[in-house]
Amino acid sequence: MSGAAKNLIYPILGAAAFILLWLIAAAAIGAEIILPAPDRAAVALFELLKSGAFWVDLAGTLDRSLKSFFLSFLLALALAAASALSRPLRRFLSPWIVILRSVPTISVILISLLWLKSSLAPIFIAFLITFPNMYSAIYGAIEGVDPGLVEMSRLYKVRRRDMVTRLYIPSILPAVFTSARSNISLNLKIIIASEVLAQTRESVGMAMQLSKIYLDTPMLMAWTAAAIVLAALLELAVEGVKRAVIRWKA
Amino acid sequence: MEGVTLKGVSKSYGGLSVLQGLDMEFEGGRISCILGPSGAGKTTILNIICGMTDYLGTVSRGGGAVSYIYQDERLIESLTVYGNLEYVLLAVEKDGQKRRQAIEHILETVELSQKSNSYPRQLSGGMRQRVSMARAFVYPSALLLMDEPFRSLDIALKKRMTEAFLKLWEADRRTVIFVTHDIDEALLLSDAIYVIKGVPAKICGRFEVSEPQRERDLASDGLLRLRKQVYRALTE
């Protein structure tokens, strides 16, 4: 068996086992309203893909998810870099990060719903949850740059801008991409959950909520599958950029 | 070429005094060696000379640039071999063409021209050490420090590395101070050898080797005699 085939066979077997388990559970329960069979969910997904509303809802959620992600990512990057340069700033930010990391997610959601309109609340909620994760990961990566290389650079009197572009940025990129990859899908999950609670128009969350209200469980499963595929595509996009940028580890 | 003088140099880590009132003199344009067992403060002396650590006492040197061959190479994994050499030259050689010529010439000297576009992880241990050596020599320094540069290399590789080092050094004969715990390495490369041991470190002997490096033979009577003296200073 070739290497590529070996890499594929186990994920395929894993997915097949999941569907089989789903099939057995659906047959055992025998009530579509509680757990529809996979083929019913597949039919519902197919119908969904043909409808124009699906793409509008999906685009709305994707738009909010990307806005929130890039807001978190860029602010985390800028503040982590500034914190690495300034100890007072790092100390100033530390209670903010601790609070944001430990505050219960549901509190963030409920408070944000009171403050903001339904289209903005999901963006703000996902930002508040993913920002401290990314800040900590990027700051940790900057602090983790090999001190031996920093010392070597100082000895050779390398200019600060050359140190930043040729030592610091390439050194932190692997950790930045790892953090971006896990947070981009987490971000999408939070956006959808917030859309459900905020009843955001033109959103996956709202479509899921309507499926639940109409007791259309196959449709709910179809939306879930669509969200999973979207999260996987976002993670793949980050991985693609990572591979294009980090060539020295290829 | 500038020499280096240490007068009454002391250094402590926490409560432990590793150097106490140390006096040393390294002549300009020569290769000097600090020979001693592990933990005798040899690397600390190099770090004091290049200003990478604080200390008490006086260190006099001309103030010119310093280059350093580290034990652990310290190459940037995201830069190619060429990029690692260019990294230290960007601030000192603004002319890109001259920079390229200097790097290509030094890579040819250390027989790494073919590896110019390789990343460090694609190189063997010996090649990585040669890149570190090339970086130290391509940088226009007046003083070169080396911290056990040939440690953990097999005999054949050590010989090739020593030859590469001498080839580079003979081109401009900059002042070299290196530390090692290997007597043979000290005898083959150095013009002057300081033997240190103990905590805090004390100088137990200073020896001169007059023969030109390329004519030295460890089996010759002169070097065998000197080896015995150095060994005694190191162990008694």
Give the span between the Cα atoms of A20 and A25, in whole angstroms: 9
In chain B, residues with a C-beta closer than 8 Å to the C-beta of A156 are 65, 67, 87-88, 139
Query: Would you state the structure tokens that stand for residue A107, as one six-digit string?
Result: 């509190």
Tokens in use for A103? Answer: 């505050």
Which of A149, A152, A242 to probe by mutation at the B interface, max B CB count within 10 Å? A152
Residue written as tokens 């137990």?
B204
Tell me the three state secondary structure of residue A116. Answer: coil
Residue A239 in contact with partner chain B when CB distance is under 8 A: no
User: Are the beta carbons of B134 and B109 closer than 8 angstroms?
Assistant: yes
A52 has a chain B CB within 8 A of its CB: no
Q: Tell me how far apart the alpha carbons of residues A231 and A237 are, in angstroms, rounded to a whole number.
A: 10
- Whether residue A38 lies within 8 A of chain B, CB to CB, comes out as no
pLDDT tens for residues A187-224?
Answer: 999 999 999 998 999 999 999 999 999 888 988 998 99
Q: Which of A43-47, A92-96, A122-126, A137-141 has the lowest mean pLDDT?
A: A43-47
Chain A environment of B78 (Cβ under 8 Å)? 166, 170-171, 173, 246, 248
How far apart CA B43 and CA B52 sit, in angstroms, is: 11
Judge whether residue A1 has pLDDT over 70.
no
Q: Mean of the pLDDT values across residues B100-121? A: 94
Token readout for B107 is 């890579």
Strand partners, B60: B5
Tell me the β-bridge partners of B67: B144
ipTM for the predicted complex comes to: 0.91
- Residue A6 confidence (pLDDT) above 80: no
**Residues B154, B158, B161, B162: what is their CA dihedral angle, to the nearest 10 degrees?**
180
| Record: contact B78-A148, CB cut-off 8 A | no
Contact: B79, A166; criterion CB under 8 Å: yes
- The mean of the pLDDT values for chain A is 91
CB contact under 8 A, B50 and A155: yes
The minimal CB distance from A167 to the residues B76, B119, B139 is found for B76
Q: Which residues are CB-neighbours of A164 under 8 A, at least 6 positions away?
A: none
Helix, strand or coil for residue A154? helix
Triad B54, B56, B57: Cα angle to 5° = 125
Contact yes or no for B66/B145 (Cβ under 8 A): yes
- Is A158 in Cβ contact with B79 (below 8 Å)? no
Write out the two tokens for A56: 């509008």
Nearest CA in chain B to A151: B52
d(CA B89, CA B170): 21
A68: tokens are 């929130």
Range A48-73 burial, b when 16+ CB lie within 10 A, else e = beeeeebeebbebbbebbbbbbebbb
The pLDDT tens digits for B43-73 are 999 999 999 999 999 999 887 899 999 988 9
Give the closest of B83, B88, B119 to A156, CB-based: B88
The H or E element containing residue B11 is: strand B4-13
Nearest by CB to A155, which of B68, B83, B87?
Answer: B68
Residues across chain B: 236
Cα–Cα distance, A35 to A23 (Å, whole number): 9
Phi/psi for A97 (5° steps) reads -65, -45
What is the SS3 assignment for B213? Answer: helix
**Three-state DSSP class for residue A144:** coil
Q: Does A156 touch chain B (CB under 8 A)?
A: yes
Buried residues in B41-78 as b, exposed as e (16+ CB within 10 A): bbbbbbbbbbebeebebebebeeebbbbbbbebbbbeb
The reported pLDDT for the residue numbered B103 is: 97
CB contact under 8 A, A156 and B52: no
Q: Do A171 and B91 touch (CB under 8 A)?
A: no
Return the higher-pLDDT residue of A150 and A39.
Answer: A150
Summarize pLDDT for B183-235 with one digit per residue, the tens: 999 999 999 999 999 889 889 999 999 888 888 888 898 899 999 999 999 88
Q: Is the dihedral of CA A162, A166, A168, A169 positive or negative?
A: positive
